[in-house]
């Protein structure tokens, strides 16, 4: 897969996660919803937000490298998503939803690895993995 395909693949994954939440949470959701964060407040666009503003989701469609290494730069972008989510009140249920990704050299999925190594940065944000092919969703870690 070339890098030029990444934006479309990310958008497709985001849409698949949106549809999963619509089917399984009994409320509407919006893509690319702006919510004010920080002091003074400034709008930040989150990937998916429930219409009742109870659930906020950031989607990450990342995989292990071909050789089984950690995609380090991409983990930095995941930490950035966690940072923005941390500005939301704990009245929100906050998720980072990652593509389910396994590698033969690794005993854990990429989402499991991310939670294990970055748990201290997440506050009450839940890390989940989603497989759009099988429609399987699983929370891999939470500090709540």
What digits encode the pLDDT tens for the residues 20-58? 999 999 889 999 999 999 999 999 999 999 998 899 999
Top pLDDT among 3 and 135 is at 135
Helix-helix angle 72-86:110-118, to 10 degrees: 60
pTM, two decimals, is 0.92
Query: Which positions ≥6 away from 7 have C-beta within 8 Å?
Result: none
pLDDT confidence of residue 5: 61
| DSSP letters for 61-119 | -----TTS---HHHHHHHHHHHHHHHTS-TTSEEEEEEE----TT-SS-HHHHHHHHHG
CB 122 within 8 A of CB 115: yes
């Amino acid at each position: 897969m070339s890098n030029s395909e990444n934006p479309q693949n990310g958008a497709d994954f985001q849409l698949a996660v949106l549809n999963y939440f619509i089917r399984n949470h009994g409320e509407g959701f919006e893509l690319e919803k702006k919510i004010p964060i920080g002091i003074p407040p400034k709008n930040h666009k989150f990937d998916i937000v429930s219409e009742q503003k109870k659930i906020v989701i950031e989607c990450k469609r990342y995989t292990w490298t071909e050789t089984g290494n950690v995609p380090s730069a991409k983990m930095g972008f995941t930490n950035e998503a966690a940072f923005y989510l941390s500005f939301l009140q704990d009245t929100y249920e906050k998720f980072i939803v990652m593509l389910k990704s396994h590698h033969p050299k690794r005993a854990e999925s990429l989402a499991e690895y991310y939670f294990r190594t970055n748990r201290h940065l997440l506050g009450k944000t839940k890390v989940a993995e989603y497989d759009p092919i099988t429609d399987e969703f699983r929370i891999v870690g939470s500090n709540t």
